[in-house]
Structure 1
Amino acid sequence: MRTHVISSRLLYVFMLGLMISLAACGQGNNPQATNSTPNTSAVTPTPALDVYGTPITIPKSAPQRIVSLAPSISEILAALNLQSHVVGVDAFTNYPASMASIKKVSSSTGFNVESIVALKPDLVLSSGGLSNKYDTQLTRLGLQVIDLPAPDFAQTLDQITLVGRLTHTETVAQPLVKQLQQQITQIHNTIKGTAATKALLEVDNSTPGKPYVFGGGSFGDEMAQYANITNIFHGNKTNGGYPQVNDEAVIAANPQYVILTEDLLYGGQPLAAYKRANWGNIAAIKSHHVYHINSDIMQRPGPRIVQGLRCLAQIVHPDKFSEKLPDYCAASA
């Protein structure tokens, strides 16, 4: 009998998804995918408040020793060319290589306060309350800790701008955000007029027959909407937007595409998906439309969200793209 094991990466995803879900309480549901132009710049800018609703104080001078407690923050710092000023990162930071090689200050079980303090950072950045058990302790030890709210897809560019302000790199952040917005608009224009396509967006299949999926309100679900994809579990918002479903529900929904975003170790192998019991009559299986996408580019609210969007859009609307599917779509990091 196979023992059910959820990857440590999935545990991180659940934590982040839950924080996003809690932050969204009281807001109206997002409509499913439409052909209206996704304009992130039209969204109200992220207020200068931390995850606890406390006003954020922008450092008077540029931080020289930064610790990142979230992989999305690490990727933003790298995009702002701040690698040389980052002295510590969380255990899940794996991209880019220059950040992955920096001293780790956490493990799958939590953060190492002593290790963080020993690095003498003048700024500690986190996101979505991932370090909420440690934020107060670190602050009492004299460190400036800023735990940013977990952004949704549309707010990600606002967060990049905010990190630019916090690190005094606005001159880098502003053109980066402009470029990312242009790329999002270009992808939208490329797939404009296409029909919405039903897809299963799988997160983990450690327990065969009972996969975890992207549900309503999850980062992957939002990205699917921008790619004009109808997530078959958009209406299921349990488990912070990452519900565990069963094969019967997948079969009944009959997706036209199956998108696997988990590691190969946890079910992310397209060839194996074709052999799953009772899946033979699913439209995606019959038409050989099963694909694997790197989970990081579909989960992390940072500069690579455009890559995730591009992969989803091109997989489901291949006739709209003249270039081959980018290698980063299935890359492991």
Structure 2
Amino acid sequence: MRRRGKIERYKLASVVILALLLVTTSFSCGCLKSDEGAWMKVTDDLGRNVTIPHKPERIVSLAPSVTEILFAIGAGDRVVGVDEISNYPPEVAEIEKVGSYARISTEKVVDLNPDLVVGAYGNGIETIEKISDLGIPVVGLNPRTLDEILDSINLLGEVTGCEENATRLTNEMKVTIDRVKNASKKAAHRPRVLYVIWHDPLYTAGNGTFEDEMISIAGGENLAADLPGYSIMTLETVIDRDPEVIITTSGGGMGVEEANISYEYILSEERFADLTAVREGRVYVIDADIACRPGPRIVDALEEIFRFIHPELCEGEEQ
């Protein structure tokens, strides 16, 4: 009986030691995460739960705003593929292209052997799911406000291991946003602003867009604030509402000859000749690559929009 007791005590001791070894190993390897060993789990802007098995070393960007964010937070040296519209920073010109923003080549993405793909709502959920179904982690972004743009930057900082850089960047962006907010409070008048994304038909940014938010922060009244998202506005409505400031976008992947086409249309359209903005020479052009991309340079667009709307508050500043 004593021998049996010794054997049982030996077995019990062995089990305890084994358990302690397993616990110690789990702590040392970080294996006690709820995601069963994955490096990270996140929920993206599309409501998808994404598991990232390890720190990404080969990243493919499917949107120009994503590309700018990745480089701005210090993950640019790990980007191995980008969409054809990505053109900033300049070094992306040498990176492999995987198709246009709305027509991504899944085959080209797979050929680059990425361990993380970052896309946007505009890529199409079908494209994002198709890549994801191949076992490649895909994070989808869809920011619609300035705060959500900041959140997107912090999310990519998290999934790439560049949290500190992302936090530093978003804090700097917040400073700029607050500076414009405070400056615009000094305005005696909030002029009516028409923001033209395209002219034929005339597309503008309504409520629920970051362009609408920028106009408001910069001290203007969006002429299309009662329209949902990106909407068509008739010429008759534009004339009836009589904008005091018109901001047109250029760039956005267009050729040089087309860059200012919306601006030129506004000035040449005879029915717009009596608009306050046209009569007073307050029709402006803003680079769409800066103003229409929900990325780090959006605060540069905000500052420029503020200068367009309230030049009287910017006197003495360097342009």
Select which of 209, 218, 224 maps to 1:233: 224
Q: 2-side partners of 1:61 and 1:211: how far apart?
A: 46
Amino acid at match of 2:203: Y
Q: Larger relative CO (CA 8 A, sep 6+): 1 or 2?
A: 1
Could you tell me which residue of structure 2 aligns to residue 200 of structure 1? Answer: 194
Cα RMSD, aligned residues only: 2.1
Select which of 155, 171, 188 maps to 2:164: 171
Residue 56 of structure 1 deviates from its aligned partner by 3.6
Q: Give the conservation status (yes or no) of the 8 Å contact 1:260–1:292.
A: yes
Q: 1-side partners of 2:46 and 2:283: how far apart?
A: 40
Q: Give the conservation status (yes or no) of the 8 Å contact 2:98–2:104.
A: yes
Q: Give the conservation status (yes or no) of the 8 Å contact 1:49–1:148.
A: no
Could you tell me which residue of structure 2 aligns to residue 297 of structure 1? Answer: 290
Amino acid at match of 1:217: G
Could you tell me which residue of structure 2 aligns to residue 259 of structure 1? Answer: 247
- Is residue 2:243 matched to residue 1:250? no
Q: 2-side partners of 1:323 and 1:308: how far apart?
A: 16
Mark the CA change 1:217 to 1:192 in structure 2 (over 3 Å): closer, same or farther.
Answer: same
Q: Which has the higher strand share?
A: 2
Residue 113 of structure 1 deviates from its aligned partner by 1.0
Q: 1-side partners of 2:231 and 2:130: how far apart?
A: 33
Q: 2-side partners of 1:55 and 1:137: how far apart?
A: 15
The equivalences for 1:6-25 within 5 A come to none
Residue 109 of structure 1 deviates from its aligned partner by 5.6
SS in 2 for 1:200: strand
Q: 1-side partners of 2:289 and 2:181: how far apart?
A: 21
- Is residue 2:71 matched to residue 1:83? no
Mark the CA change 1:132 to 1:269 in structure 2 (over 3 Å): closer, same or farther.
Answer: closer
Amino acid at match of 1:204: W
CA distances 1:104-124 after superposition (whole Å, capped 9, x unpaired) = 101266111111101000111
Residue 304 of structure 1 deviates from its aligned partner by 0.6
In the superposition, the TM-score normalised over structure 2's length comes to: 0.79
The aligned length equals 272
Amino acid at match of 1:203: I
Mark the CA change 1:224 to 1:101 in structure 2 (over 3 Å): closer, same or farther.
Answer: farther
Residue 227 of structure 1 deviates from its aligned partner by 1.1
Could you tell me which residue of structure 1 aligns to residue 116 of structure 2? Answer: 123
Q: Give the conservation status (yes or no) of the 8 Å contact 2:104–2:123.
A: no
Could you tell me which residue of structure 2 aligns to residue 219 of structure 1? Answer: 210
Could you tell me which residue of structure 2 aligns to residue 38 of structure 1? Answer: none
Could you tell me which residue of structure 2 aligns to residue 53 of structure 1? Answer: 47
- Percent sequence identity is 32
